[in-house]
Amino acid sequence: MDWMNAVEGVLGKLGDPHEDFQQVAQAAPPDVVAGGLSQAFRSDQTPAFPDMLANLFSHSNPDQRAGLLNQLLGSLGPGVLAALPAGLSSLVPGSITPQQANQIPPEQVQQMAAHAERQNPTIVDQVSSFYAQHPQVVKAIGGLALSIALQHMLQRR
């Protein structure tokens, strides 16, 4: 089934946003899923990006956590890295292991995401592309955010 058929199926019923998002995300091209996630992260109807990202981090597996942290840290300049809370400033972008990622609490990811968003607003798009590859985790952002993502994805058809 191509992604357009999945969209048509969702349009016909529009039920549970968690199930609808999963159905469309499995069939849609990753850039369409990423665009929907970006819209949800930027929406004034959803929690702030750092809050949503900390929640996603807490629902991610160790490999996904490491990938996210490597993306966040890679988007920050050296001066910002030094200003991060103790324990984070010593991490080396691109080399964070799943074991290290499991030692980082979601609250620190929230702080890091706030720094990253101020330093590099394209981090929202980068993180959206990352989580477009892991749609099963995205359900953690909540029904409203998923509905916003779906609406944007449906407009792309």
Under 8 Å between Cβ of 36 and 7: no
pLDDT at 21: 86
Rounded Cα distance between 70 and 5, Å, is: 35
pLDDT at 18: 83
pLDDT at 8: 60
pLDDT along the chain (157 residues), means of 10: 60 72 88 95 96 96 95 77 63 81 91 88 95 91 90 79
Q: Which residue has the tokens 């996603």?
A: 56
SS3 135: helix
> Tokens in use for 30?
């990753």
pLDDT at 133: 93
Q: Which residue has the tokens 């509905």?
A: 147
pLDDT at 31: 94
Under 8 Å between Cβ of 98 and 65: yes
Phi first, then psi: what are they for 77, rounded to 5°?
-75, 165
Phi first, then psi: what are they for 60, rounded to 5°?
-90, 155
pLDDT at 1: 47
Rounded Cα distance between 88 and 136, Å, is: 27
Rounded Cα distance between 97 and 91, Å, is: 10
Q: How many helices and strands in the chain, by DSSP H and E?
A: 11, 0
pLDDT at 5: 64
Structural domain count of the chain: 1
From residue 141, how far is each of 17, 60, 102, 157 by CA, in Å?
11, 12, 20, 23
76: DSSP letter: S
pLDDT at 155: 82
User: Domain range for residue 133?
Assistant: 3-155
